[in-house]
Chain A
Amino acid sequence: MIKVVNLKKSFGDLPVIKGITNEIRQKEVVCVIGPSGSGKSTFLRCLNLLEEPSGGKIYFEGKEITDHKQVDINLFRAEVGMVFQRFNLFPHMNVLENICLAPMKVRDLSREEAETRANLLLKKVGLQEKALDFPDNLSGGQQQRVAIARALAMHPKMMLFDEPTSALDPEMIKEVLDVIKELGKEGMTMVVVTHEMGFAREVADRVLFMDDGLIIEENSPEQLFNHPKNERTKMFLSKIL
């Protein structure tokens, strides 16, 4: 579904991604783990071009999206949902408007169509009674579930999650992870940057361990967590498990 070839990204003189080649297949759930500063989030943000890669190529469904002349970035981004660590809901709009805006402006849906879609998604994330609330009046877990619904309203082909539970109070982590799990079961293609090892172990088809701007090791969760091969992977896992 999305293929990355020798991806590099530097901020100024500082190289953050030092050459990543990988492919995420349709309906695959990939979790990315690794220490802070390893480039996990930057890698994820390169996948929908929120960060412009400094080198290398990215192909989405066979088309090179790093070639700006060939591909409309906005159309590509509409196909890829993203959920942020800090939710990034629009605070001046209520929940329903948050979800409906992009489908109406980008996909040209009518208000009725968009609202029907939004209400369906709110039901799915268990928040149908919050449609008219403003983000500031919701808990962190509720806000993140709205953010997921907002991304799903574009009917994306793939979802990216950037540490979706890192800004949440412990008691709210489960409600968000459950929604993501459910999506995985429905066959959504997903890349999840996470510190929740239990979640990765349970949900991922494949786990990537990143350190120092590179994918050091990748494997099924069972293999990676129980029989890590690389020294750095072993060290990282020994610190957190």
Chain B
Amino acid sequence: MDYSWSWKVIIHSLPMLLAGARLTIRLTCIAVGMGIIIGTFVGIGRISKNKLVYALSSVYVHFIRGTPLLVQLYLFYFALPALLGFPIPPMPAAIISMSINSGAYVAEIVRAGIQSIDRGQMEAARSLGMTYRQGMRFIIIPQTFKRIVPPLGNEFIALLKDSSIVSVIALEELVRKGYIIMGRTFRSFEIWTAVAFLFLFMTLPITQLVNYAERKLQNND
């Protein structure tokens, strides 16, 4: 055991790693943002009385949650272009597959959130002559948002870590940057330690924020 730890390697590779971390955050933010939009609609679809809407949203949720993100990424990056006849560049492929992945998880969060609202709320809305849609929009969804902030934070953290998977299609996010620097310096211990801590620096503040939001929302309930 005469491995000599080199701070120099870390300092030199830090700008590159930070650039990778920036892409990691960007990808995750876009994917979760899209995921919230997709998930809101699909989550409502999952409690729909319309059988077709229910079936379609259920198939989507089960397929995405039942298969690895890596396979979904390959489907969009390799399989779909073969079908379409033109290539999909890594960035769009990564954003699409991560958004669709996130959408399924957010859908379940939204569904659980909606179902946690007291039935009497919708009944009160309907008894005043509001349509189901109005009841959802003005009464149920606004109350749901408050309750799903903590699980959404957890979804953000999970996806942020899982986003490292897109390194396999040569997108230079944090993990891919680590590979590249490793190839040049052969300093695996320093590099992967630095990568691990950079992930930790990103996820810890979000965890804190989620905890804070949870406490704050509990007080208001």
Contact = CB atoms under 8 A, between A and B. Distances in A.
B128 A151 contact: yes
A92 B142 contact: yes
Interface string A148-160: 0011001000000
A151 B126 CA distance: 11
A34 to B, nearest CB: 22
Nearest to B220: A136
Contacts of A91: 143
A84 interface: yes
B120 A84 contact: yes
A212 B138 CA distance: 38
Given A92-B143, A92-B146, A74 B131 contact: yes
B127 A82 contact: yes
B127 A50 contact: yes
Interface residues of B, number: 18
A84 B126 contact: no
A176 interface: no
Contacts of B213: none
Contacts of A48: 127
A78 B125 CA distance: 10
Interface in A65-100: 74-75, 77-82, 84, 86, 88-92
A81 B124 CA distance: 10
Interface string B31-60: 000000000000000000000000000000
A239 interface: no
Interface in B87-106: none
A125 to B, nearest CB: 17
Contacts of A74: 126, 129-131
Contacts of A106: 128-130, 134
Contacts of B134: 105-106
Q: Which of A48, A84, A92, A151 has the most CB of B within 10 A?
A: A92
Q: Which of A75, A81, A106 has the most CB of B within 10 A?
A: A106
A12 B175 CA distance: 56
Interface string B160-186: 000000000000000000000000000
Given A105-B134, A105-B138, A154 B124 contact: no
A105 B143 contact: no
Contact of B129 (A77, A90, A92, A147): A77
19 contacts: A74-B131, A75-B129, A77-B128, A78-B129, A81-B128, A84-B123, A84-B124, A88-B121, A88-B124, A90-B143, A92-B142, A92-B143, A92-B146, A102-B130, A105-B130, A105-B134, A106-B134, A150-B128, A151-B128
Interface of B: 118, 120-121, 123-131, 134, 138-139, 142-143, 146
